[in-house]
């Protein structure tokens, strides 16, 4: 193969991945049988919406862990409905029900993962997994105990005036551990080295400093 032919072959090989990527992007933007391809503004709106909804789900975990009732309520539209465990009613009532539990915990930690979001204009549907730990006073006998939970949240969301909030939540509880006696009481945890509840946690102080700078 002469020099010119080698250069032509190399150029073709280098161009192949780019061409494949463009074709894949076009295919993804316009699936067969699902209408026209989205333009750049529409694709950007979907990406921003997915990010906003993901952050909302993370905020739900933070509100639980910091016992921040105002933040927890701000994530649901006033008429939002809620079904989780034995509870079936309005989300605003669920927040009151859940906060009675959360506020009495020594410590809580909720992890959100496997976030999946579908967006259609001002409506969206999301799924995420949760894993949680609750440190509480032992229900039987003295001392404290840890309980661990796993499950999923399925949410319908709506965007109003540019703000995404949950309009319907279905919570699924897939696993609850047996209470495990705590080896170290919460009061013995080193002061100033662990998370605290609203408004004492450093998150709020540092966030205010950041926003003011």
Q: How many domains does the chain have?
A: 1
The tokens describing 46, both together, are: 């979907």
pLDDT of residue 131: 98
Assess if residue 192 is contained within a domain.
yes
pLDDT of residue 123: 98
**pLDDT tens profile 70-118:** 999 999 999 999 999 999 999 999 999 999 999 999 999 999 999 999 9
Provide the pLDDT confidence category of residue 38 given band limits of 50, 70 and 90: confident
First to last CA, the chain: 64
| Residue 68: Cβ-neighbour burial (10 angstroms; 0-12, 13-18, 19+) | buried
Assess if residue 19 is contained within a domain.
no
pLDDT of residue 35: 64
pLDDT of residue 36: 75
pLDDT of residue 10: 35
pLDDT of residue 173: 97
The number of angstroms, rounded, from the C-alpha of 37 to the middle of its chain's C-alpha atoms is: 28
Assess if residue 23 is contained within a domain.
no
Could you give the C-alpha distances from 128 to 41, 85, 148, in angstroms and in order?
A: 26, 17, 17
With a cut of 80, say whether residue 3 has pLDDT above it. no
**How many percent of the chain have pLDDT more than 90?**
77
Q: Mean pLDDT, the chain, as a whole number?
A: 87
Q: How many CB atoms lie within 10 A of CB 30?
A: 13
With a cut of 50, say whether residue 9 has pLDDT above it. no
Assess if residue 34 is contained within a domain.
no
Show the domain range for 78. 41-212
Instruction: State the pTM of this model.
Output: 0.81
Per-residue H/E/C for the chain = CCHHHHHHHHHHHHHHHHHHHHHHHHHHHCCCCCCCCCCHHHHHHHHHHHHHHHHHHHHHHHHHHCCCHHHHHCCEEEEEEEEECCEEEEHHHHHHHHHHHHCCCCEEEEEEEEEEEEEECCEEEEEEEEEEEEEEECCCCCCEEEEEEEEEEEEEEEEECCEEEEEEEEEEEEEECCCEECCCCHHHCCCCCCCCCCCCCHHHHHHHHHHHC
Assess if residue 117 is contained within a domain.
yes
Average pLDDT over residues 56-81: 98
Assess if residue 33 is contained within a domain.
no
Assess if residue 129 is contained within a domain.
yes
CATH at 131: 3.10.450.50
With a cut of 70, say whether residue 14 has pLDDT above it. no
Question: Is the separation of the CB atoms in 59 and 71 below 8 Å?
Answer: yes
């Amino acid at each position: 193969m002469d020099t010119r032919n080698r250069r032509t072959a190399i150029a073709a090989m280098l161009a192949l991945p780019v061409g494949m990527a463009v074709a894949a992007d076009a295919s993804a933007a316009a699936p067969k049988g699902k209408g026209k391809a989205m333009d750049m503004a529409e694709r950007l709106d979907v990406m921003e919406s997915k990010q906003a909804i993901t952050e909302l789900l993370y905020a739900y975990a933070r509100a639980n862990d910091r016992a921040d009732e105002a933040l927890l309520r701000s994530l649901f539209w006033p008429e939002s409905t809620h079904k989780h465990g034995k509870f079936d009613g309005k989300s605003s009532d669920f927040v009151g029900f859940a906060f009675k539990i959360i506020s009495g915990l020594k410590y809580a930690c909720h992890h959100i993962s496997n976030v999946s979001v579908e967006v259609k204009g001002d409506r969206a549907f999301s799924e995420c997994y949760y894993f949680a730990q609750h440190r509480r006073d032992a229900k039987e006998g003295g001392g404290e105990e840890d309980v661990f939970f796993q499950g999923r949240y399925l949410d319908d969301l709506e965007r109003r005036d540019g703000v995404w909030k949950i309009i319907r939540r279905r919570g699924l509880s897939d696993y609850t551990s047996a209470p495990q006696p705590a080896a170290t009481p919460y009061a013995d945890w080193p002061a100033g080295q662990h998370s605290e509840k609203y408004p004492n946690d450093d998150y709020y102080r540092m966030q205010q400093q950041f926003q003011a700078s």
